[in-house]
A and B are shown apart, each in its own frame.
Chain A
Amino acid sequence: MENVSQFDLNTALRQWLEQLGQSPQIKAENLKELESHIRDSVVRLQSKGLSSEESFLIAIRTVGSVGKLEPEFAKVNRSPWNMIIHGVILAFFSAACWILWALLLVPRMFERMLSDPPPVPAFTRLLIGCSPFLAVPPLLALVYCLYALSKKSDVRPSWMRFLAATVGAILLLAFPIIVAVLLHFVEWIYPDPFAGN
């Protein structure tokens, strides 16, 4: 008797490719090549006397599961995005450093706006004096990005590491700067009652 459930190789192959294609790591060209591979494999297995369904099942098993293939394709396909994200993080990091630098201009602006300006606390003056050094972290980050770019794509460090480092740096820099600016406000709102006496 004939096989009741008719097996159609093209349909089965299309379904398999669709499943694989859901992974963003596997590009259309990769799928085309894998399809060509499966078809070659099926032809060879059929020539050994297997049915097309058996051949197809063996072919997809030897090619490997989605879970196995995906990370390998991700390694070769990820590189441009990894560097683009590095660039975006670098831009945000530089902007954040610039904002911190601009924040340190506030006490001086206050001095000019008010007729009777409060004294600028020593800590605030110290940080204002150091503010040109805020150009250093973005420059270091730029050097790091160039170093990452010089690495071969398969050993290139992931953008996650860079993001973690820059966020950490921003938090460390922002804390003393915000304290310094607030200190100046405190001088203005609650002036030292003994000052000048």
Chain B
Amino acid sequence: MLTKELVAASTVPLVLSVLTEGENYGYALIQRVRELSGGKIEWTEGMLYPVLHWMEKEDLIESEWRDAETGRKRKYYRLRKEGRTALREEKQQWMSVHETLASLWKTSLSLT
């Protein structure tokens, strides 16, 4: 399980990354992240919606209410150009953290 802080920091890049696969609605977004993380990333599901609305205000994504195959309406979110740019930046930052930690842990492993 991730810490609260890490969940908060990773929500935006996760949402942006899932939306690169195509437009999606809140519930399916959560399922997708759960499935990919093998259940290690568990969101308090309702918390995702304020984040989505914040991302919409920041023009990273856009949304639309549409009829789903179930006959009910669902709110679908789609990536915008600004979102793709933001994702590229996020990617760089997460990769630099990842690479630094990975190289540090490799060295310490070889020493022990």
Instruction: Enumerate chain A interface residues (CB-CB to B < 8 A).
Output: 30, 32-34, 36-37, 39-41, 43-44, 62-64, 68-69, 72-73, 75-77, 79, 152-154
Whole-angstrom CA separation of A40 from B50 in the bound complex: 18
- Residues of chain B lying within 8 A (CB to CB) of residue A72: 46-47, 50-51
Whole-angstrom CA separation of A32 from B49 in the bound complex: 11
In the complex, how many residue pairs between chain A and chain B have their CB atoms under 8 Å apart?
63
- Residues of chain B lying within 8 A (CB to CB) of residue A73: 49-50
Q: Are the C-beta atoms of B45 and A33 separated by less than 8 Å?
A: no
Whole-angstrom CA separation of A40 from B46 in the bound complex: 13
Whole-angstrom CA separation of A50 from B46 in the bound complex: 21
State how many angstroms separate the Cβ of B68 from the closest Cβ of chain A: 9
Decide if B81 is an interface residue (CB 8 Å cutoff).
no
Beyond A34-B46, A77-B53, A153-B57, 13 additional pairs, beta carbon < 8 A: A30-B49, A34-B49, A36-B74, A37-B27, A37-B45, A37-B46, A39-B72, A40-B27, A63-B44, A69-B47, A73-B49, A75-B54, A152-B58
Decide if B75 is an interface residue (CB 8 Å cutoff).
yes
B4-56 CB contacts (< 8 Å) to partner A: 25-28, 31, 44-47, 49-51, 53-54
Chain A interface helix/strand/loop/mixed: helix
Classify chain B: how many residues form its interface, as a range.
Answer: 20 to 34
- Residues of chain A lying within 8 A (CB to CB) of residue B98: none
Q: Mind listing 7 A-B residue pairs with CB under 8 Å? A: A32-B73, A33-B75, A37-B26, A41-B27, A43-B70, A64-B47, A69-B46
Whole-angstrom CA separation of A63 from B26 in the bound complex: 11
Whole-angstrom CA separation of A34 from B18 in the bound complex: 20
Whole-angstrom CA separation of A63 from B47 in the bound complex: 8
- Residues of chain B lying within 8 A (CB to CB) of residue A63: 44-46
Whole-angstrom CA separation of A19 from B104 in the bound complex: 50
- Residues of chain B lying within 8 A (CB to CB) of residue A44: 31
Whole-angstrom CA separation of A77 from B50 in the bound complex: 9
State how many angstroms separate the Cβ of A2 from the closest Cβ of chain B: 27
- Residues of chain B lying within 8 A (CB to CB) of residue A77: 53
- Residues of chain A lying within 8 A (CB to CB) of residue B26: 33, 36-37
State how many angstroms separate the Cβ of A57 from the closest Cβ of chain B: 14
Q: With A36-B27, A36-B74, A76-B54 as given contacts, are A62 and B49 in contact (CB-CB < 8 Å)?
A: no
Whole-angstrom CA separation of A79 from B53 in the bound complex: 12
Whole-angstrom CA separation of A61 from B72 in the bound complex: 22
Whole-angstrom CA separation of A167 from B53 in the bound complex: 34
State how many angstroms separate the Cβ of A44 from the closest Cβ of chain B: 8
